[in-house]
Amino acid sequence: MKKFSWKINHISTNTNARTGEIITPHGKIKTPAFIFCATKAALKSFSTIQAKENNTQIILSNTYHLMLQPGSELIAKHGGLHNFMNWKGPMLTDSGGFQIFSLGHGSVADEIKGRSSVKRNKSLLSINEEGSLFQSYIDGSFKLLSPEKSIEVQRDIGADLILVFDECTPFHVDKSYTDISMKRSHRWAIRSLNRFNLNLKYKAGFGSSGEQKLYGIIQGGIYEDLREESIDFNLNKIDNFGIAIGGSLGSSKDEMYKVVNYTALKLGNKHPIHLLGIGDPNDIWTLVKSGIDTFDCVSPTRLARHGSALIKGKKGKLNIKNKLFSEDLLPIDKDCNCPTCLNYSLAYLHHLFKADELLGLQLITSHNIYFMNNLMNIIRNAIDNDNLEQAEKQWFS
């Protein structure tokens, strides 16, 4: 049996939605799938054992944060991040490029969605052909993150799926900068691939946990001609297992849907397609129809920490801290089979938040993780049964 493979099982008759399977040495990912962010090797208030119990298929971690703390060498000594954090399933790492962007230009989420161009404290010192020079937020030391360094760190970490090093361009830059940055990211992708294939510390294409596969990243911002150039580069000039859609996706939901749709259509069926940093359930229902296979976002666990539980319907979430729930004996969702909904009332969860009890964060995180995995399961079944549109209507009714 192949250690890695990708296949499409079914393509919807009315849309480009598809179900498939990504096989990795650490198990199978049924797609479309949601990838949970364990940025610093932790799902915040939730263990990997609990994540598995809540049907989680795959998690991701962050190259930039882990290289600064605890350092990738310590992770490699454990035989990779799988052992370090006791996650036996599939894993992805980003390349650190996303953080270059967030350090240099402001809030990542705001920028990707075109909401802001607010400058933040700049620990990014420069981006040039060599890579990105920045100051560590841990000890103030100067660090260079280059394509080669990013791949070396990702080989130490040992995730199954790893990303080429890129600059994630913000919304507020013009077409000329987006073009320059895209071409540089393409050169960085070639350098990433060359280092990936080199037999240095580990066997070529292997990380500390074993064999790995590389994802390329489509750049080009909101400009269709640049996206096409990046698609051509990734499909025809470089050999990657998977392809991620990165960069700015515009200033509105409609623009994001448009950019993702024409990009995914042109990418076709040869590779699994990952959409970087998007994970709102409303967006997922729309974007699976363009053929997106995997999504990632910090939102399910971040919302939980702020007291928001995800629910079906247009509203999308409940604010557990709302006084409305102070005497509500029902669970978050009476149809949900997560450990939180099976065992605890809204009034109890409300009390935990009012009393600043950390258990509240854990219980809502548990529900939100289960909720996202259940959502993806419903979507996969609906695609296989060719009733995605009815399932979507039912979800929002």
Q: Residue numbers of the site for Zn ion (CB under 5 A)?
A: 336, 338, 341, 367
The distance in angstroms from the start CA to the end CA of the chain is: 43
| DSSP-derived 3-state class of residue 296 | strand
CB of 298 to Zn ion, least distance (A): 19
CB of 331 to Zn ion, least distance (A): 7
What is the pairing mode between strands 317-319 and 308-310?
antiparallel
Which helix or strand (DSSP H or E) is residue 373 part of?
helix 359-384
CB of 3 to Zn ion, least distance (A): 35
Catalytic residue among 156, 179, 293, 296: 296
Q: Whose Cβ is closer to Zn ion: residue 174's or residue 335's?
A: 335
Q: Is 354 exposed, middle or buried (0-12, 13-18, 19+ CB in 10 A)?
A: middle
280 in catalytic set: no
Q: How far apart are CA 109 and CA 116, in angstroms?
A: 9
CB of 31 to Zn ion, least distance (A): 23
Q: Whose Cβ is closer to Zn ion: residue 84's or residue 370's?
A: 370
Q: Whose Cβ is closer to Zn ion: residue 153's or residue 336's?
A: 336
CB of 311 to Zn ion, least distance (A): 9
Q: Whose Cβ is closer to Zn ion: residue 19's or residue 366's?
A: 366
Task: List Cβ neighbours of 265 (8 Å cut-off, separation of 6 or more).
Answer: 16, 290, 291
CB of 50 to Zn ion, least distance (A): 13
Task: Give the count of beta carbons closer than 10 Å to the beta carbon of residue 85.
Answer: 19
Q: How far is CA 161 from CA 35, 108, 241, 243, in A?
A: 12, 22, 9, 11
Task: List Cβ neighbours of 250 (8 Å cut-off, separation of 6 or more).
Answer: 113, 114, 171, 222, 256, 258, 259
Q: Which residues of 318-339 are buried (b: 16+ CB within 10 A; e: fewer)?
A: bebbeeebeebeebbbeebebe
Q: Whose Cβ is closer to Zn ion: residue 278's or residue 338's?
A: 338
Residue 20, strand partner residues: 8, 31
Q: Whose Cβ is closer to Zn ion: residue 164's or residue 349's?
A: 349
84 and 159 Cβ atoms separated by less than 8 Å? no
Catalytic residue among 94, 166, 283, 293: 94
- Catalytic annotation, residues: 94, 296
